[in-house]
């Protein structure tokens, strides 16, 4: 964090409800200090009247905002422009100040893309299983289609949501085959090596002893995987992947890089790898508290 605010300090923040648990101030205040930016990041608890909050932020000359639950979709109506990927995903998590208002971006999918590239978890040319069809899964499935998955399987408890997501992706990426299935039909998946991205909320702290699919037979197919949950640092899903010999990462780097990408958009800078690593270590420390 910068040592002292002065007349030139810029403000960035997070709009959501609730926001008390957020790790974003750790990311952005560390980046501000490391990158020599006179910037402070604070969470704003917005209980209602989202449009007034966005207008107020603009009037207060706030440089940029993150947006979290429950506003990632509704915020689009309060923006002057929305990036094409965010429109296709149907969610905005980053507002960038421009003439007359804010432009919306989705850095969740960009964060996941950076995390997977860094860890060499592959999508291109592969069969990919996405577990979940909620808000986060929208960004995950978009990334899989954009990055050239050979075939995407979306498995969800509520199959209708998986079907809706599959249709949405097919409209933008007609060349990418997407199949929607009920999670309990996982044994109907073809028996070949696959990448799996776990995007449900099952396994999240404090329910750490649960996984969306518990059967080891499912995990024999999974040779590369991501659980986008980062608390706990090792989920039951991750243990099940490892027990069958697969390679798996948690969602901490996705969180890190969605923040880094937002910071880069706000400040028109590129954050170096050493600084990213420093922020990652601080996030890990915070999660151990």
Which position among 137, 143, 147, 238 is part of the footprint of ligand NAP (CB under 6 A)? 137
Q: State the minimum distance, in angstroms, from the CB of residue 72 to ligand NAP.
A: 8
Q: Please report whether residue 155 would count as binding ligand NAP according to CB under 6 A.
A: no
Three-state secondary structure along 80-114?
A: CEECHHHHHHCCCCEEEEECCEEEEECHHHHHHHH
Q: CB 158: neighbour CB atoms within 10 A?
A: 12
With contacts defined by CB under 6 A, name the span among 24-32, 131-139, 184-192, 264-272 that binds ligand NAP.
131-139
**Coil/strand/helix, residue 16:** strand
Q: Closer to ligand NAP at the Cβ: 37 or 114?
A: 114
Write the DSSP string, 136-169.
HHHHHHHHHHHTT-SEEEEEESSHHHHHHHHHHH
Nearest CA-CA partner of 119 in 27, 275, 248, 228: 248
Residues 22, 25, 26, 28: is their CA dihedral positive or negative? positive
Q: CB 202: neighbour CB atoms within 10 A?
A: 19
Catalytic, out of 8, 37, 48, 72: 72
Three-state secondary structure along 160-213?
A: HHHHHHHHHHHHHCCCCCEEEEEHHHHHHCCCCCEEEEECCCCCCCCCCCCCCC
Which position among 19, 54, 123, 133 is part of the footprint of ligand NAP (CB under 6 A)? 133
Q: State the minimum distance, in angstroms, from the CB of residue 58 to ligand NAP.
A: 25
Sole residue written with tokens 């960009």: 110
Q: Please report whether residue 94 would count as binding ligand NAP according to CB under 6 A.
A: no
Which position among 25, 43, 132, 246 is part of the footprint of ligand NAP (CB under 6 A)? 132
Q: Closer to ligand NAP at the Cβ: 205 or 277?
A: 205
For residue 103, indicate whether it is catalytic: no
Q: Please report whether residue 161 would count as binding ligand NAP according to CB under 6 A.
A: yes
Q: State the minimum distance, in angstroms, from the CB of residue 154 to ligand NAP.
A: 9
Q: State the minimum distance, in angstroms, from the CB of residue 200 to ligand NAP.
A: 3
Q: Please report whether residue 255 would count as binding ligand NAP according to CB under 6 A.
A: yes
Which position among 73, 157, 242, 247 is part of the footprint of ligand NAP (CB under 6 A)? 157
Which position among 83, 108, 113, 127 is part of the footprint of ligand NAP (CB under 6 A)? 108
Q: Tell me which residues in 201-240 interact with ligand NAP (CB under 6 A).
A: 201-202, 204, 212, 228-230
**What CA–CA distance (Å, rounded) separates 199 from 179?**
16
Q: State the minimum distance, in angstroms, from the CB of residue 67 to ligand NAP.
A: 12
Strand 94-98 to 222-227 pairing: unpaired
**What CA–CA distance (Å, rounded) separates 286 from 289?**
5
Q: Please report whether residue 66 would count as binding ligand NAP according to CB under 6 A.
A: no
Sole residue written with tokens 């915070």: 286
Q: Closer to ligand NAP at the Cβ: 51 or 69?
A: 69
Strand 64-67 to 94-98 pairing: antiparallel
Which residues are annotated as catalytic? 72
Question: Which residues contact ligand NAP (rule: CB under 6 A)?
Answer: 108, 132-137, 156-158, 161, 199-202, 204, 212, 228-230, 251, 254-255, 258
């Amino acid at each position: 964090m910068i040592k002292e605010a002065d007349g030139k300090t810029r403000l960035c923040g997070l709009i959501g409800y609730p926001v008390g648990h957020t790790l974003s101030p750790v990311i952005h205040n560390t980046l501000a200090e490391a990158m020599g930016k006179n910037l402070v990041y604070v969470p704003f608890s917005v209980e209602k009247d989202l449009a007034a909050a966005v207008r107020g932020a603009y009037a207060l000359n706030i440089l940029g905002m993150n947006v979290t639950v429950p506003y990632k979709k509704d915020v689009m109506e309060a923006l002057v422009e929305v990036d094409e990927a965010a429109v296709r995903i149907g969610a905005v998590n980053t507002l960038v100040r421009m003439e007359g208002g804010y432009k919306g971006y989705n850095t969740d999918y960009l964060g996941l893309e950076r995390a997977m590239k860094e860890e060499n978890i592959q999508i291109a040319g592969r069969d990919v299983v996405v577990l979940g069809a909620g808000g986060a899964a929208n960004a995950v499935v978009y990334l899989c289609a954009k990055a050239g998955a050979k075939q995407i399987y979306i498995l969800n408890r509520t199959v209708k949501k998986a079907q809706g997501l599959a249709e949405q992706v097919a409209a933008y990426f007609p060349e990418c085959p997407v199949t929607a299935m009920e999670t309990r039909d996982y044994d109907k998946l073809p028996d070949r090596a696959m990448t799996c991205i776990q995007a449900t909320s099952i396994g999240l702290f404090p329910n750490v002893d649960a996984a969306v699919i518990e059967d080891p037979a499912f995990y024999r197919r999974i040779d590369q995987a991501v659980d986008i949950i980062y608390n706990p640092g090792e989920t039951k899903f991750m243990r099940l992947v490892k027990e069958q010999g697969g390679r798996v990462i948690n969602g901490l780097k996705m969180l890190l890089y969605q923040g880094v990408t937002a910071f880069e958009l706000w400040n028109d800078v590129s954050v170096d790898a050493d600084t990213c690593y420093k922020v990652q270590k601080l996030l890990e420390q915070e999660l151990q508290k």
